[in-house]
Amino acid sequence: MDMTIAGGITMNDGYRIPRIAFGTYHLEPDGEAERAVATAIRAGYRHIDCARFYHNETAVGVGIANGGVPRDQLFITSKVWNDRLIDGTVRESIEESLHDLQLDYLDLMLIHWPVEGKLVAAWKVLEQARDEGLVRSIGVANCRVPHLQQLMTAGATMPAVDQLEFHPYMQDAKTLAFCESQGIVFEAWSPLGRGACMDDPVVTSIAEAHRATPAQVILAWERGKGIVALPRSRNEGRIRSNALELAEPLTSDEVAALDALDRQQPVNPNSTPENFAAHLNGKSSHF
């Protein structure tokens, strides 16, 4: 697979984003994160997805530096956490990410969650940071159609990216279609459902037919929808195999069978935009 920026998808702001990213959630900052990130970069990944909430950006920054790839060939994303939207320190969060990651700019900065009543104000800070060159592209995460329409109504710049949970057991065709209609790149966090759907008989039978892993099948299905997936692993073999394409594309029947697996089953009931506010107060969070 071409994982480079040049071989990526053109976003609505003219920049390109690689077709797959390496996720860093739950990678421990005790050496694990830096090893995994450096391994991913050496395996060909060029997009590294980070966040303040992951509490490992310093270690990830070391991994990026150890990966041995020039900065202009990498695409680095971070996210602003909810407490910064609440207390009005979005700009400070961006600066902290740059410091910890040892970067002069971020390729993409996302608002991690659409905190009620704070989204538009935070978005304006991201627009300013983009205009000042701290970040190149700006986007959101965990936003459904009404959140995106809220930004549109406010006359804001259209997000370049919306990152949501998406896998065979948790699909969001409505938001995906809206993003396509507006030129917003759809990213999938937890693209493998944290392993929940990889033992599904439909997935395993397709994998056997293609002599591939279940993860490779699911990631191919997501790429076929134009989705940028963010798989994460601590295992070097899986890091490398997740980046491999199928020898033959999925058939229309196989795609339909995977589409039919949707159960609206999130990896965590609290991690949907609809349930998030009811269970988390913005400063405490444990997924």
Question: Does the structure show a pLDDT above 70 at 162?
Answer: yes
Question: Does the structure show a pLDDT above 70 at 148?
Answer: yes
User: What class, spelled out in words, does domain 9-195+222-234+263-279 have in CATH?
Assistant: alpha beta
- Does an H or E element contain 67, and which? none
pLDDT tens profile 214-247: 999 999 999 999 999 999 999 999 999 999 999 9
Could you say which of 15, 25, 45, 54 is catalytic? 54
Where are the chain's structural domains?
A: 9-195+222-234+263-279
Neighbours of 81 (CB within 10 A): 21
Cβ atoms of 76 and 274 within 8 Å: the answer is no
The owner of tokens 């795609």 is: 255
Q: Residue 242: which residues within 8 A CB-CB, separation 6 or more?
A: 20, 215, 216, 219, 231, 233
Q: What is the CA radius of gyration of the chain?
A: 18
126 or 269: whose pLDDT is higher? Answer: 126
User: How far apart are alpha carbons 80 and 95 in whole angstroms?
Assistant: 10
Q: Residue 88: what residue type?
A: G
Neighbours of 238 (CB within 10 A): 15
Question: Does the structure show a pLDDT above 50 at 282?
Answer: no
Q: Is 25 a catalytic residue?
A: no
40 or 276: whose pLDDT is higher? Answer: 40
User: How far apart are alpha carbons 83 and 278 in whole angstroms?
Assistant: 15
- Mean pLDDT (the chain) is 95
Once rounded to an integer, what is the mean pLDDT over residues 86-112?
A: 98
Question: Does the structure show a pLDDT above 90 at 49?
Answer: yes
CB-count exposure of residue 12 (10 Å: 0-12, 13-18, 19+): middle
Neighbours of 232 (CB within 10 A): 22
Q: What is the pLDDT of residue 268?
A: 87
Cβ atoms of 45 and 253 within 8 Å: the answer is no
Instruction: Using pLDDT thresholds of 50, 70 and 90, give the confidence band for residue 273.
Output: confident
User: How far apart are alpha carbons 110 and 241 in whole angstroms?
Assistant: 28
Nearest partner of 111 among 133, 156, 86, 81, judged by Cα? 81
0.85 surpassed by pTM: yes
Question: Does the structure show a pLDDT above 90 at 277?
Answer: no
